[in-house]
Amino acid sequence: MFHKGKLLERPKIFDSPTGVDNEHRYSPAVCTGIDIRKINGRPDLDKAGTSYVERQNLTMRMGMRRFTRLTNGFSKKVENLAQAVSLHYMHYNFARPHITLTKDAGGHATTPAMAAGVENHVWTTREIAALLD
């Protein structure tokens, strides 16, 4: 939102529902206010948006049990979490052909790494596993 030619950020302030602590709640938090802050710089508002980040968050949550909500599929060590995230993104970008990229390439199976010009073929899981040696 603009105010006097400057972009304003409006992050929401949340509080837990009455009588429930944050560790054991299943209902969403209650919005108790908005903190308005100025953002410096000149962002390109035509490209501004959260849809790409939200889509990536959803992809990560759907692809890794560690990020699903209200489950016990957690990592005991932060190193294991980092390795799981790395493996997920390696597969996502190098081994998994994406439908829209494949259509744009005339039906040739294409991964994001291939579309970016970083790689010239779809990786197999065997190739990814060979990186661990």
Question: Where in the chain are the domains?
Answer: 2-39, 51-130
The whole-number pLDDT of residue 102 equals 92
The predicted-structure confidence for 4-16, as pLDDT tens digits, reads as follows 445 555 666 767 6
Q: Are 30 and 14 in contact (CB under 8 A)?
A: yes
- Is residue 88 helix, strand or coil? helix
CA distances from 42 to 45, 46, 63 (A): 9, 12, 35
Kind plus residue range of the DSSP H or E element containing 31: strand 30-34
Q: How far apart are CA 76 and CA 49, in angstroms?
A: 34
68-75 mean pLDDT: 75
Q: Are 27 and 16 in contact (CB under 8 A)?
A: no
